[in-house]
Chains A and B, each alone.
Chain A
Amino acid sequence: MSKLSTKHLLGIKNITRDDIDLIFKTADNFKEVINRPIKKVPSLRDITIANIFFENSTRTKLSFELAEKRLSADVINFSAGSSSVKKGETLIDTVNNILAMKVDMVVMRHPNPGAHVFLSKHVKCAIVNAGDGAHEHPTQALLDAFSLRERLGDLTGKKILIVGDILHSRVALSNIFCLQKLGAEVRVCGPATLIPKHIESLGVKVMPNFKEALVWCDVANMLRIQLERQDIQYFPTLREYSMQYGLSNDLLESIDKKEIIIMHPGPINRGVEITSDIADGQHSIILNQVENGVAVRMAVLYLLAGQTNTIS
Chain B
Amino acid sequence: MGIFFDPNQEYICASTMESRLLLNHQALEHTLNRLAFELFEKHGDFQNTAIIALQPRGVLLGRRIVERIAELTGVNVPYGELDVTFYRDDFRRREEPLVPAKTNLDFSIEGKRIILVDDVLYTGRTVRSGMDAMLDFGRPIQVELMALIDRRFSRELPVQPDYIGRMVDVVKHETVKVHWSEDNSDNKVTLYSSANNE
Which residues of A are interface residues toward B (Cβ below 8 A)?
2-3, 22, 25-26, 29, 32-33, 36-38, 40-44, 46-47, 71, 302-303, 305-312
Chain A residues, Cβ within 8 Å of B97: 2-3, 302-303, 305-307
Which residues of B are interface residues toward A (Cβ below 8 A)?
83, 85-87, 91-103, 132-133, 136-138
Chain B residues, Cβ within 8 Å of A309: 92-95
Chain B residues, Cβ within 8 Å of A305: 91-92, 97
7 pairs of A and B residues whose beta carbons are closest in the complex: A306-B97, A41-B86, A3-B96, A38-B136, A29-B100, A2-B99, A43-B86
Partner of A25, one of B96, B99, B138: B99
Chain A residues, Cβ within 8 Å of B92: 46-47, 305-306, 308-311
A36 in contact with B86 (CB, 8 Å): no
| CB closest chain-B residue, reference A29 | B100
B103 in contact with A306 (CB, 8 Å): no
Interface centre among A3, A29, A311 (most CB of B within 10 A): A29
Q: Measured between alpha carbons, how far is A305 from B91 in the docked complex, in Å?
A: 9
Chain A contact residues: over half helix, strand or loop, or mixed?
Answer: loop
Q: A33-B86, A36-B136 are contacts. A306–B102 as well, Cβ < 8 Å?
A: no
Q: Measured between alpha carbons, how far is A312 from B95 in the docked complex, in Å?
A: 10
- A40-B136, A41-B136 known; 12 new pairs, CB 8 Å cut-off, are A2-B96, A3-B97, A26-B99, A29-B86, A33-B86, A37-B137, A38-B137, A44-B91, A71-B86, A306-B96, A308-B92, A312-B93
Q: Measured between alpha carbons, how far is A49 from B101 in the docked complex, in Å?
A: 26
Distance in angstroms from A7 CB to nearest chain B CB is 12
25 contacts between A and B (CB under 8 A): A2-B98, A25-B99, A26-B100, A29-B83, A29-B101, A29-B102, A37-B138, A38-B136, A41-B86, A42-B87, A42-B132, A43-B91, A44-B91, A46-B92, A71-B86, A306-B91, A306-B92, A306-B96, A307-B97, A308-B92, A309-B93, A309-B94, A309-B95, A311-B92, A312-B93
Chain A residues, Cβ within 8 Å of B100: 26, 29
| CB closest chain-B residue, reference A25 | B99
Chain B residues, Cβ within 8 Å of A44: 91
B96 in contact with A307 (CB, 8 Å): yes
A22 in contact with B87 (CB, 8 Å): no
Q: Measured between alpha carbons, how far is A220 from B90 in the docked complex, in Å?
A: 43
Distance in angstroms from A121 CB to nearest chain B CB is 24
Q: Measured between alpha carbons, how far is A61 from B94 in the docked complex, in Å?
A: 30
Chain A residues, Cβ within 8 Å of B99: 2, 22, 25-26
Chain B residues, Cβ within 8 Å of A40: 136
Chain B residues, Cβ within 8 Å of A37: 136-138
Q: Measured between alpha carbons, how far is A114 from B136 in the docked complex, in Å?
A: 41
Distance in angstroms from B184 CB to nearest chain A CB is 29
| CB closest chain-A residue, reference B95 | A309
Q: Measured between alpha carbons, how far is A306 from B94 in the docked complex, in Å?
A: 8
Distance in angstroms from A181 CB to nearest chain B CB is 20
Partner of A32, one of B96, B102, B138: B102
Chain A residues, Cβ within 8 Å of B93: 309, 311-312
| CB closest chain-A residue, reference B129 | A42
Q: Measured between alpha carbons, how far is A22 from B98 in the docked complex, in Å?
A: 11
Q: Measured between alpha carbons, how far is A173 from B85 in the docked complex, in Å?
A: 34
Chain B residues, Cβ within 8 Å of A33: 86, 103
| CB closest chain-B residue, reference A298 | B86
Q: Measured between alpha carbons, how far is A203 from B95 in the docked complex, in Å?
A: 37
Chain B residues, Cβ within 8 Å of A29: 83, 85-86, 100-103
Chain B residues, Cβ within 8 Å of A306: 91-92, 96-97
Distance in angstroms from A102 CB to nearest chain B CB is 14
Distance in angstroms from A34 CB to nearest chain B CB is 12
Q: Measured between alpha carbons, how far is A303 from B98 in the docked complex, in Å?
A: 9
Q: Measured between alpha carbons, how far is A110 from B134 in the docked complex, in Å?
A: 40
Interface centre among B86, B95, B96, B99 (most CB of A within 10 A): B86
Chain A residues, Cβ within 8 Å of B96: 2-3, 306-307
